[in-house]
Each structure stands twice: as structure tokens, then as C-alpha cells.
Chain A
Amino acid sequence: DVKVTQSSRYLVKRTGEKVFLECVQDMDHENMFWYRQDPGLGLRLIYFSYDVKMKEKGDIPEGYSVSREKKERFSLILESASTNQTSMYLCASTGVSQPQHFGDGTRLSIL
């Protein structure tokens, strides 16, 4: 079974902090994704990566950056956290022509 692991289930940070969310997959997938999920808005794509060191902006990249130094790991970075970034963050991975597999999510609160 594909395993996508997000480093934290719950995280509380303060405004202005630099925040790192980590995601690791164990299936050698080429593609990895970061979404945020807010009530009534569904899932919105922040960034995705289709290879090591490659990234593309999704629909809402502002205030975020990503890093993919190794194939199995995709990190989401909040450069200077703000309260409007309080949300559920979901990581997913997929191989070519396969469904996306999701982690359990990180519920991030910015105080």
C-alpha cells in the first residue's frame, strides 16, 4: 500500500514565524502536491512537483514556497506565517496515470 506521511497532525505557530510542513512518500512517485482545505472551498492546490528540484505554482501559491531535494520528500514552507494561513494542509503523491494518494493532513493554527 502507498504510504504518504505528513510529519505533524496538529501544529500551532505564531504570526511571523517560518513554518515547515514535511511530507514523505514511499512509492517512488514522480509527482507530489500540496493542498489547503478550507470549509466551503474544497481543496485548493498550492504547489506541485513533478520531479526532484522541479516545482510549479498551483492556484494559491502566494505566501508559500516548496522544496523537493529528494524524490520521496516534498516540503511546504510558510515564509512568514499569517493568521489567514490557518487551515488544513494535505499532501498527495502519484505516479504516471495513477490516482493521487493522500496523507492524513496537518491542521495548522497560526496565532
Chain B
Amino acid sequence: AQSVTQLGSHVSVSEGALVLLRCNYSSSVPPYLFWYVQYPNQGLQLLLKYTTGATLVKGINGFEAEFKKSETSFHLTKPSAHMSDAAEYFCAVSLGTSNTGKLIFGQGTTLQVKP
């Protein structure tokens, strides 16, 4: 069975500091991996995705994530946090061969950015 674990339900950083949000997954088949962001009172917006190919994936708003198969991880990073990055972030995994698009989500990490 597939699962996703996000380490840390709340992460707090200072403006300008490195952002690191951790995600580990389990999957018996090559996974497709996603990071979504949710701003208050909105739906989820896709930040980036990994399907195949290059393991370092760049997304919107300066975020990137690296797929590390040996560590079963897909951590999200941004070199310098901005106040507008304050939001909830979700990591998700799907079966690479699935055509239903069904996702398994982590429980989410709330990012706080302090001035």
C-alpha cells in the first residue's frame, strides 16, 4: 500500500531563510510525486510534480524538490522564504501506472514565515 508522511505539522522560518519541508513516501511501484500549496480559504494549487526523468524538479514561486529513491523522499525546498509563502503544503503520491489519477496525501505542513 502507498502512504505519505510529512514530518512536522508546523514549520516556522524567518523571512529570507531556507525553507525545507520534508516528505517521505512508500510505494511498491515507481511513484508519481506532487507538492501542492493551499492558501487560506482556497483550494489546492500544484507547486511541482515528479513523474520520470530528472530527479530535481523545479516548480512555481521558486520552490524545488528532489526525488531520492534510496531515501524514499521528496523534500520541498526554497532558498529564501518570503512572507507570501505562508500557507499549508501537501505532499502526495500516485501510482505511476494508474489512469484514475487517484492521490494519497500527507497530512500537511503549515509554513509560518516570521518577519
Contact = CB atoms under 8 A, between A and B. Distances in A.
Contacts of B100: 31, 48, 50
Nearest to A99: B46
Interface in B37-54: 41-46, 49, 51
Contacts of B106: 42
Interface string A77-110: 0000000000000101011111111111101000
Contacts, number: 59
B43 A94 contact: no
Interface in A23-44: 30-31, 33, 40-43
A52 interface: no
A40 B43 contact: no
A42 B42 CA distance: 14
Interface in B84-100: 90, 99-100
A4 B43 contact: yes
A95 B43 contact: no
Nearest to B108: A42
17 contacts: A33-B102, A40-B9, A42-B90, A42-B106, A42-B107, A43-B44, A43-B105, A45-B102, A48-B102, A90-B43, A96-B99, A97-B51, A99-B49, A99-B101, A103-B43, A105-B41, A105-B43
